[in-house]
């Protein structure tokens, strides 16, 4: 469903989140350049995945934590922008729980925990394809001026 088919105010929360995601994805050069895939989006939720490439490994021959953080942060962005208000990260933290090797597929699932006023709280779990949790990320969002779709 594209936003052009319905007035933004007539979209369900999930339809709105998907319409916003289409706009954001078209502009998200960083995530696309890293080979990320936006698997699914709904209101307050996003799932993204990425295969770790050789150039993403560090001196320990494991995935550099910055790439895992970036995957989690990208999923966070899609989860917290779905209500059509420009929203950015105010504070994020990550705990790395297991190493990741080149060639492994990672999935980040972002879930809204709470959103009040201009602030929101999101938990993002990053797993390998075998289901092992490799990182836990918590993001605090802040709504700023503007929308993704015209209102």
- Please state the φ and ψ torsions of residue 3, each to the nearest 5 degrees: -65, -25
| Cα angle value 36/69/103 (rounded, 5°) | 50
Q: Write down all domains in the chain, each with its CATH number in brackets.
A: 3-143 (3.10.129.10)
Q: Which tokens is 61 given? A: 């021959």
43-102: per-residue pLDDT in tens? 999 999 999 999 999 999 999 999 999 999 999 999 999 999 999 999 999 999 999 999
Q: What is the pLDDT of residue 6?
A: 75
2, pLDDT greater than 70: no
**Contacts of residue 33, Cβ cutoff 8 Å, sequence gap at least 6:** none
Q: What is the pLDDT of residue 65?
A: 98
Q: What is the pLDDT of residue 3?
A: 46
Q: What is the mean pLDDT of the chain?
A: 96
116, pLDDT greater than 60: yes
Query: Rounded to whole angstroms, what are the CA distances from 36 to 29, 59, 139, 151?
Result: 10, 23, 19, 29
């Amino acid at each position: 469903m594209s936003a052009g088919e319905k007035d933004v105010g007539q979209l369900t929360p999930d339809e709105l989140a998907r319409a916003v995601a289409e706009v954001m994805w078209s502009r998200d050069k960083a995530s696309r350049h890293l080979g990320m895939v936006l698997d699914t989006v709904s209101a307050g939720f996003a799932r993204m995945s990425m295969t770790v490439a050789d150039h993403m490994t560090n001196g320990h021959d494991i995935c550099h934590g910055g790439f895992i953080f970036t995957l989690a942060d990208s999923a966070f962005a899609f989860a917290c922008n779905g209500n059509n208000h420009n929203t950015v990260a105010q504070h994020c933290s990550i705990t790395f729980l297991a190493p990741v090797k080149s060639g492994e597929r990672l999935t980040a699932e972002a879930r809204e925990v709470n959103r009040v006023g201009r602030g929101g709280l999101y938990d993002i779990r990053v797993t390998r394809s075998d289901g092992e949790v490799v990182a836990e990320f918590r993001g605090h969002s802040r709504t700023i001026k503007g929308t993704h779709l015209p209102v």
